[in-house]
Amino acid sequence: MIDISAEYTLVLESYREMDSILQWSDHTLFQGEAVVSNWSPAQQLHHIAKVNLVIASSLITMSQKPEEEDSDRRASITGVSVLATGYIPRGRGKSPGRLRPPADLTRDQLTSALNKSESAVGEVGVLLGLLQSRKGRIEHPHFGFMRPSQWIRFMNVHTNHHLKIVRDIDRERRS
């Protein structure tokens, strides 16, 4: 069983790391390392912010609905595996266009996206008890139908997946 509070706390802690990365110089933040990823650290953070905002908004909406939609549906084997291992293989999946960062991303756009995302994730914090008890599920395009606790676990796993890429870009630059 997923400890929704622990997963949520880890997501919040990730925002501290993202705030620290946001302090990097423009060159360091916006310059990619193709050997690691086609996206720059800034684009990685922007993607995290967009995904977390969508997840948080969906969870908030779910908490306001009395019905338990898709409660009989389940996560796919891939979804269960990712949630259990906390590992997303690199380069396998493609983000939907609406969740991809712009090529000409600015620091203001990035800061705004992170602030909006962190605010929405903060709103989810007061709903954890309610969300833990919900039987409804929300569909992920690759991972099937997931409960709110699974979505918060996914938010943590996905955020860390992209933060690891940012760390690898930084490490590659230093070598």
- Quote the pLDDT of residue 169: 97
Write down the pLDDT at residue 67: 78
| 38, 35, 110, 164 alpha-carbon torsion, rounded to 10° | 120
- Tell me the pLDDT tens digit for each residue of 154-166: 999 999 999 999 9
Residues contacting residue 108 through CB under 8 Å, at least 6 positions apart: none
Q: Tell me: the pLDDT tens digits for 91-145?
A: 877 888 899 999 999 999 999 999 999 999 999 999 999 999 888 999 999 999 9
- Residue 111: what residue type? T
pLDDT score of 69 more than 90? no
Which residues share a beta bridge with 146?
Answer: 138
Say which CATH number the domain at 94 has.
Answer: 1.20.120
Question: Residue 80 is inside which H or E element, if any?
Answer: helix 77-85
Output the six-digit token pair for 88. 């997303």
For residues 157 and 10, is the Cβ–Cβ distance under 8 A? Answer: no
Q: What is the dihedral of CA 148, 152, 154, 159, to 10 degrees?
A: 150
Domain housing 36:
4-174
Quote the pLDDT of residue 152.
98
Domains in the chain, number: 1
